[in-house]
């Protein structure tokens, strides 16, 4: 079944791609063997992250438009927050991208985090690897925007875009241990707001010391995503960065990070939150450390 789906996916069959992703999400029997047989791909992943309200969805929508204007194709994975109780999606703000759903050059898939703390879906690595076989020119992963814990995107994306807004002055001071570390490109969105130029200047000054360690200065791009301004420059910076990383060892750090995540996930496979909750209830227990030592 999976092999037939792969053949259809490589021919550009979007329905087969959507079905394959669903089978992987639900861990359909045979999916692990299928993943081992995926052909190599040079398609790079663009990660878009940042605090809630920064305009990530609007920016993603604008990027799709720029890619389509250049007559290329794109797959977009939007990860929404999920309920901690039933793991279903709490928010589905994909309405901004609704104009692209019937475009043959665009594939959009919404996923819930299913309780994952890093702002991503538990099967995001496998899903993006399948997307790479579909011969899209670009793959974009937009995360939920959960703050500094969202550094998990850096282990997935070849190019990580961190989106902030001019009012985030105080937040930027606390970013150094989180988003500041993972950004390959900074986007100051809603740059028509007051003090945007001052904010950009201060951000560039903060990034300058990191130049010594990263070997390149992290670009700061001003955008007004709602008006499609600055998007062409942003895409050009993405292309430039992805050309640069082919000559570095980031590729293997990314692969190592993905492998580590998958191994960790596999070791935790038999641990179920519902069972943990039942055990705590049965023993009328609030001290979780007694439960942890059993594992």
CATH number of the domain to which 133 belongs: 3.40.50.300
| pLDDT, mean of residues 114-125 | 64
Containing domain of residue 215, as a range? 38-248
DSSP letter assigned to residue 52: T
Given 3-state DSSP classes, what are the helix, strand and coil percentages for the chain, each rounded to the nearest 5? 50, 15, 35
Under the phi-then-psi rule, with left for phi > 0, alpha for psi from -120 to 50, and beta for the rest, what region is 211? alpha
Taking the C-alpha atoms of residue 18 and residue 134, their distance in angstroms, rounded to an integer, is 11
Question: In this structure, is residue 22 part of a structural domain?
Answer: no
Q: What is the pTM of this model?
A: 0.84
Whether residues 49 and 152 share a domain: the answer is: yes
Whether residue 213 has pLDDT greater than 70? no
Q: Is 63 exposed, middle or buried (0-12, 13-18, 19+ CB in 10 A)?
A: buried
Whether residue 173 has pLDDT greater than 70? no
Question: In this structure, is residue 7 part of a structural domain?
Answer: no
pLDDT of residue 247: 54
Whether residue 114 has pLDDT greater than 60? no
Question: In this structure, is residue 221 part of a structural domain?
Answer: yes
Q: What is the tens place of the pLDDT at every residue in 75-106?
A: 999 887 644 444 444 445 456 677 888 899 99
| pLDDT, mean of residues 250-261 | 78
Whether residues 126 and 214 share a domain: the answer is: yes
Whether residue 293 has pLDDT greater than 80? no
Under a CB-based contact definition with an 8 Å cutoff, are residues 34 and 2 in contact? yes
Question: In this structure, is residue 270 part of a structural domain?
Answer: yes
Whether residues 193 and 81 share a domain: the answer is: yes
Question: In this structure, is residue 117 part of a structural domain?
Answer: yes
pLDDT of residue 295: 74
pLDDT of residue 87: 47
The chain-wide mean pLDDT, for the chain, equals 82
* Phi, psi angles (nearest 5°) of residue 207: -80, -20
Name which of 85, 86, 79, 80 is nearest 125 in CA terms: 79
- Does an H or E element contain 149, and which? none
Domain count, the chain: 2
Question: In this structure, is residue 33 part of a structural domain?
Answer: no
Percent of the chain with pLDDT over 90: 40
Question: In this structure, is residue 177 part of a structural domain?
Answer: yes
pLDDT of residue 50: 84
| pLDDT, mean of residues 191-215 | 81
Whether residues 117 and 211 share a domain: the answer is: yes
Whether residues 200 and 262 share a domain: the answer is: no
Whether residue 252 has pLDDT greater than 70? yes
| pLDDT, mean of residues 230-255 | 83
Whether residues 70 and 201 share a domain: the answer is: yes
Whether residues 161 and 277 share a domain: the answer is: no
Whether residues 107 and 233 share a domain: the answer is: yes
Read off the pLDDT band of 267 (50, 70, 90).
confident
Whether residue 205 has pLDDT greater than 60? yes
Whether residues 209 and 281 share a domain: the answer is: no
Whether residues 85 and 136 share a domain: the answer is: yes
Question: In this structure, is residue 170 part of a structural domain?
Answer: yes
The structure tokens 């974009």 sit at 140
Whether residue 147 has pLDDT greater than 80? no
| pLDDT, mean of residues 20-38 | 91
Read off the pLDDT band of 187 (50, 70, 90).
very high
Q: Which residues contact 159 (CB under 8 A, 6 or more apart)?
A: 44, 45, 46, 47, 184, 185, 238, 241, 242, 245
């Amino acid at each position: 079944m999976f092999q037939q789906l792969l053949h259809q996916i490589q021919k550009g069959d979007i329905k087969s791609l959507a079905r394959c992703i669903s089978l992987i999400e639900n861990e359909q029997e045979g999916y692990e063997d299928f993943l081992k047989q995926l052909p190599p791909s040079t398609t790079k992943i663009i990660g878009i992250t940042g605090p809630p309200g920064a305009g990530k969805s609007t920016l993603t929508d604008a990027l799709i438009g720029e890619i389509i204007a250049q007559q290329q194709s794109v797959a977009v994975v939007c990860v929404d927050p999920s309920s901690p109780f039933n793991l279903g999606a709490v928010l589905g703000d994909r309405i901004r991208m609704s104009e692209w759903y019937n475009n043959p050059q665009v594939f959009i898939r919404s996923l819930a985090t299913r309780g994952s703390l890093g702002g991503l879906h538990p099967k995001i690595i496998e899903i993006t690897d399948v997307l790479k076989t579909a011969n899209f020119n670009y793959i974009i992963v937009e995360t939920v925007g959960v703050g500094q814990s969202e550094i998990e995107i850096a282990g997935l994306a070849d190019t990580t875009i961190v989106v902030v807004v001019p009012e985030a002055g105080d937040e930027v001071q606390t970013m150094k241990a989180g988003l500041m570390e993972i950004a390959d490109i900074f986007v100051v969105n809603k740059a028509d707001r007051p003090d945007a130029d001052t904010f950009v200047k201060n951000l560039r000054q903060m990034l300058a010391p990191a130049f010594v360690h990263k070997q390149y200065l992290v670009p700061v791009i001003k955008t007004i995503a709602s008006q499609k301004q600055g998007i062409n420059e942003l895409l050009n910076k993405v292309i430039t960065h992805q050309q640069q990383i082919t000559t570095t060892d980031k590729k293997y750090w990314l692969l190592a990070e993905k492998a580590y995540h998958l191994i960790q996930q596999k070791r935790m496979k038999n641990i179920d939150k519902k069972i943990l909750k039942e055990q705590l209830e049965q023993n009328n227990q609030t001290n979780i450390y007694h439960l942890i030592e059993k594992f």
